[in-house]
Amino acid sequence: MLVVPFNRVIPIEQRIEFIGRRIAEEEPDLLLAWAVAGASRLIREHKFSIPQSCEQAFRDWMTEADAVLAWLSECVKVHEVRDDLPAVATNVAYRKFHDWAIEQGFKKDNLPAINGFTRRVRTNLKGVKYSASSRPRKFVGMVVA
């Protein structure tokens, strides 16, 4: 999936009605050359070129759409671990996440249960270790602001 931001509004006096159709009808040779050049680049590089603005827009969209990612981005820091510290119990982290998400306007019914929350944190927060063998279960290396 690719999020493409459109940040510029073209002034009315610069707009060209049915521009796509006109290009196809009036400049088919240039359109074909452009498509072939793009396909050649894809074959040569084995991947699509993705502008930095699209990557940033995707990260922004994911953070806005995913309460756990938004919380991790805004409220959590990863710190160096010494003697299994710092650490946050998963139930404490979940409670803080839940309260923050409700305060931010996320719908309670759309928030994950604690098991889903824990899985999302483990998947998306590099540098934090999940300790399931201890009681209570905890995230080691995590600090919640």
pLDDT at 97: 98
pLDDT at 39: 96
**Using one digit for the tens of pLDDT, what is the confidence trace for 50-72?**
999 998 888 777 777 899 999 99
| φ, ψ dihedrals at 129, nearest 5° | -100, 140
Q: Which of 37, 60, 61 is nearest to 49 (CA)?
A: 37
Please determine, for residue 133, whether its predicted confidence score (pLDDT) is greater than 90: no
* pTM, rounded to two decimals: 0.62
**Using one digit for the tens of pLDDT, what is the confidence trace for 113-122?**
999 999 999 9
Greatest mean pLDDT among 45-54, 57-66, 90-99 lies in 90-99
